[in-house]
Amino acid sequence: MVNSPAPSSNDVKTHHESVGAWAKRYYFANRAAIESVLRPYGIGTTQWYVLYQLANDGPTIQRDLGQLLHLERATLSGIVSTLVRKGHVEQVPGATDQRQRVLHLTKAGRKLWEGLPDPIAVIGATSLQDISEAELATAVRVLKAATQRLNDYMADGDRT
């Protein structure tokens, strides 16, 4: 796309746009691919992550799950109620703290989980093969650093 002459300072914006643009495209392509694997089972990508957590780490407080998956309370609330409606997850008030909701798989939920393919393995393997460990590490480092900056920026901006 952007062929590579000596990058002038004018290229900065182009580069920036590229990382952002490609992060977006990769995110959505990845999501679409995962969803195509999961579609026959009637669950979405983020719903899968919730089931994954509950299946592997057992009952979890909704608040903690939100932090683990980097989701806002409101977002998780909707996803959980979808899973509850479908009968895969049960949501019970916490024993000591009545505000909290403890989530755990229902029997049906566990059964579903056991029949589920692992979309990360299926999709991830195809999408990243032939990319060296070093390149992967660089990509992650860049994405991580940039995300960090943005979060700092937002935190600052809020306080001002």
Partner DNA sequence: GTGAATTCGTTCGTTACCTAACAAATATCG
Partner DNA sequence: CGATATTTGTTAGGTAACGAACGAATTCAC
Is 146 a binding residue for its own copies by CB under 8 A? The answer is yes
Q: Identify whether the C-beta of residue 82 lies closer than 8 Å to the C-beta of residue 47.
A: yes
Partner from DNA, its own copies, none contacting 7, C-beta within 5 to 8 A by type: its own copies
Question: Which residue type, as a one-letter code, is found at position 51?
Answer: L
Partner from DNA, its own copies, none contacting 58, C-beta within 5 to 8 A by type: none
Residue selected from 11, 33, 53, 100 as contacting DNA according to rule CB under 7 A: 100
Q: In whole angstroms, what is the distance from residue 160 CA to residue 156 CA? A: 6
| Token couple for 103 | 């989530």
Closest CA to 72 of 84, 60, 63: 63
Measured from the CB atom, the residue of 3 and 96 that comes closer to DNA is 96
| Displacement of CA 12 from its chain's centroid (Å) | 29
Is 111 a binding residue for its own copies by CB under 8 A? The answer is no
| Token couple for 50 | 């919730």
R_g of the chain, CA atoms, integer Å:
20
Q: Identify whether the C-beta of residue 100 lies closer than 8 Å to the C-beta of residue 63.
A: yes
Q: In whole angstroms, what is the distance from residue 76 CA to residue 65 CA? A: 8
Site for its own copies in 70-89 (CB under 8 A): 70
Is 24 a binding residue for DNA by CB under 7 A? The answer is yes
Contact string 14-53 vs its own copies (x = CB under 8 A): -xxxxxx-xxxxxx-xx-xx--x-----------------
Using CB under 7 A, list all residues that contact DNA: 24, 28, 32, 42-48, 61-63, 66, 70-82, 91, 96-101
Using CB under 8 A, list all residues that contact its own copies: 1-2, 4, 7, 11-13, 15-20, 22-27, 29-30, 32-33, 36, 70, 120-121, 123-131, 133-147, 149-151, 153-154, 157
